Structure 1
Amino acid sequence: MNFIESFKSAIKSLTGNRARSFLTMLGIIIGITSVITMSAIGKGGQKNITGKLKEGGYGKFTIFIDKGAKNFRWKYLFDDVVIEKLKNTNEFKNVTPYVRDRVYSKIGNNFGRVWFTASTPSVEDIDKVEIIAGRKFLSFEYENAERVALIDDVTAKNLYGSVDNALGKEYNIFKNRKSAGVVYEIVGVYKNPFKGFANALGGLRIPRFIRFPLSTYDRIYNLDNAGFYEEILIEAKNPEKTKYSMVRSKEILENIIGIKDLYEVEALAQGSSSFDNILSTLNIFVTFVAGISLFVGGIGVMNIMLVSVIERTKEIGIRKAIGATNKDILLQFLIESIILTGLGGIIGIIFGFTLGEIVGKVIGIPPLFTLSSIIISLLVSTFIGVVFGVIPAKKAAELNPIEALRAE
């Protein structure tokens, strides 16, 4: 018996009991569907979250003073003169003071921590945000230290019901719990950079953000050190040479101030890279857990094939009596097993695509299907057919023809 005849015989045996064949494939279908869906949603969420974070920080970095250094003195804080000298080197696309910290906010009975960024026109160019309601700061608001603010959309919805409803409302900020509050008028709402992450993890609580003019920060919170800053935000001329620009900025500052080992440089996208690694690990783990169902499905295939061997014992005896070899019997049962798992894999991939699209729309994350995941799923399902089909096929091939013929 050649391969083609074995294949035809296997097809005939499987179609002879379609209900059982489908139920046998069901474990594989569910397993492949789970793997494809979880992998696509995981990779889509990862790209959606970290892609925007990396895009926002690509080619940008901060340089700050290590206040814990032995040679640190308050007089070494950055000022407008130092920043202007950095700009005049023409080695960087943009340079600006950068102030970011946590403050307290309170609206009615809502009281909590919020991340703030003291903004300049240059900050808005370098560390861009997506305005979804209202507007950005106007030039006179920077110049006059107006008490205006931009807040993120998650905070706007939580506190005011909608992003549009937040416009023109008051937002009360406290430097610390004991300080007096400062009221800001909300003139714009921007997209929270961690919103995609929250959607991926089912509405996880995420940080709140606010921006107000740097001149406002100096006038209200930085009275003793107005015009002096601990951190500078820099955008490289060539994003591909960011590391070189980071080294050069440090060298230039050391030459300007005359102090070494006082500055630290950090890429703006560095945090998102670490976050990307965490999400990759989490995605692999979740996909692996979903893949356990494939193992369970393989056991189901083996059990059904063993039952099939018992039911077809007499048939096997007849085939051996008319000349079928152990190899022929082994090949037929292996082909049956591979067809079951292979076809189940194909159906699972189709279902995986469909379910992935549905789940992606429900949770707001575009699924990312990859050719590698499809090929791996097919190979795994076929491999399961071979591995879990060997024992039943070997048992069928080793049946004694005389004893098989006596079976009822």
Structure 2
Amino acid sequence: MARLFLFCIVINVNKFNSKIIKGDGIGVVDNDLRTRSAVVSNEFADTWKKTHDKVIGSYVNLKGYNYKIVGEFKANQLVNLFQDTTDIYVPKSAYQHVELYNKGDGVLVTMKKDADSHSVLKTVAKNLRTKGSVKYRGSYHIQDNAQAASAVGQILKGITAFVSLIAAISLFIAGIGVMNMTYISVAERMPEIGIRRAIGARSKDVIFQFLVEGTMLTTIGGIVGYFGGSSLAMLIGLALPFKVSFEPSSFWLAFLVSFAIGLIFSVGPARTATKKNLVELMR
């Protein structure tokens, strides 16, 4: 199935936060002079290269008129999650000149951060339905990206809660494994514990020894797991349209959780080593 490429009329392409990666952009001068120039997305350019020798300098036909491709911009994949992809930008005046001053079929509304998007869009829709220049052609469709983002946010929260539950279960199972290993270590080192106690080691010294061993085991495992997971995430991020980043706090969280698991699940086995008398320990 062939992809349908969409184009947008603009006065200044820089206002749409589109980063020009090759060639030139479209500015106010192009709009004033009605130049038939176009800036295409990198996705459009990749498709264009399959059937043409070059991208910049070639001409694309839009509604019967040729527009010269002067630049290439990087498509914003995060924006494309909530609205139609714009693949081609052309000067507003050039488009309206050949289209009998058609003003286009869409309006992009940008609001302040503290604005109530629902009420603003409701007002815009009301004005378009009563005063819109093409209201006789049909009805207007209003798309609220804030609501779409909120819905995605709720889904991500649910996924995060589920993953957190799985992680908690995994940590508990790992803690049980650490506790079993510590019990085995205590059982195999009874004579060593007996000798230490015979030469004056206190119970808290023996407990401290096994707590250190348990926490070192889990902490090293947690650090290795953190860097292993981070490396895997960065490799996967190479194929994603957005940059993968890590907060420093995530490392310290992994460190503290690993340390706590080792501390909590090593206390029980360590205490058993101090409850036996010297005769039983030296057997």
TM-score by length of 2: 0.64
Are the structure 2 counterparts of residues 378 and 125 from structure 1 closer, same or farther at C-alpha, using a change threshold of 3 Å? closer
2:88 is aligned with what amino acid? I
Distance 1:269 1:126 in 2: 20
Are the structure 2 counterparts of residues 187 and 346 from structure 1 closer, same or farther at C-alpha, using a change threshold of 3 Å? closer
* Cα shift at 1:290: 7.8
Would the aligned equivalents of 1:154 and 1:195 in 2 still touch at CA under 8 Å? Answer: no
Is 2:10 aligned against 1:114?
A: no
1:241 is aligned with what amino acid? A
* Cα shift at 1:389: 1.5
1:305 is aligned with what amino acid? T
Residue 129 (structure 1) aligns with: 18
Residue 259 (structure 2) aligns with: 382
Residue 42 (structure 2) aligns with: 153
Distance 1:323 1:137 in 2: 83
Residue 203 (structure 1) aligns with: none
Q: Deviations over 1:87-108 (max 9, x none)?
A: xxxxxxxxxxxxxxxxxxxxxx
* Cα shift at 1:272: 4.9
Residue 234 (structure 1) aligns with: 109
Distance 2:171 2:40 in 1: 46
Q: After the TM superposition, which of the residue ranges 356-365 and 380-389 deviates more from structure 2? A: 356-365
**RMSD over aligned Cα, in angstroms?**
5.1
Distance 2:191 2:243 in 1: 54
For 1:218-297, list aligned pairs within 5 A.
Answer: 227=102, 231-236=106-111, 238-241=112-115, 243=117, 245-246=120-121, 249=124, 265-268=142-145, 271-272=148-149, 274-275=151-152
Would the aligned equivalents of 1:334 and 1:389 in 2 still touch at CA under 8 Å? Answer: yes
Secondary structure of the 1:187 match is: strand
* Cα shift at 1:310: 2.0
Are the structure 2 counterparts of residues 265 and 172 from structure 1 closer, same or farther at C-alpha, using a change threshold of 3 Å? closer
Distance 1:159 1:358 in 2: 30
* Cα shift at 1:153: 1.1
Count residues with an aligned counterpart. Answer: 272
Are the structure 2 counterparts of residues 294 and 317 from structure 1 closer, same or farther at C-alpha, using a change threshold of 3 Å? same
Residue 93 (structure 1) aligns with: none
Q: Deviations over 1:203-236 (max 9, x none)?
A: xxxx67223455676688x78xx73665433344
* Cα shift at 1:160: 1.7
Residue 88 (structure 2) aligns with: 210
Distance 1:195 1:249 in 2: 24
1:392 is aligned with what amino acid? P
Residue 88 (structure 1) aligns with: none
For 1:7-406, list aligned pairs within 5 A.
Answer: 112-121=2-11, 124=13, 126-137=15-26, 148-160=37-49, 165-171=54-60, 184-194=67-77, 209-213=87-91, 227=102, 231-236=106-111, 238-241=112-115, 243=117, 245-246=120-121, 249=124, 265-268=142-145, 271-272=148-149, 274-275=151-152, 298=175, 301-318=178-195, 329-342=206-219, 344-345=221-222, 351=227, 355=231, 359=235, 367-399=244-276, 401-406=278-283
Would the aligned equivalents of 1:356 and 1:367 in 2 still touch at CA under 8 Å? Answer: no
Larger relative contact order (C-alpha < 8 A, sep ≥ 6)? 1
* Cα shift at 1:191: 0.7
The structure richer in strand per residue is 1
Distance 1:212 1:395 in 2: 78
TM-score by length of 1: 0.48
Secondary structure of the 2:115 match is: helix
The share of aligned pairs that are identical, in percent, is 32
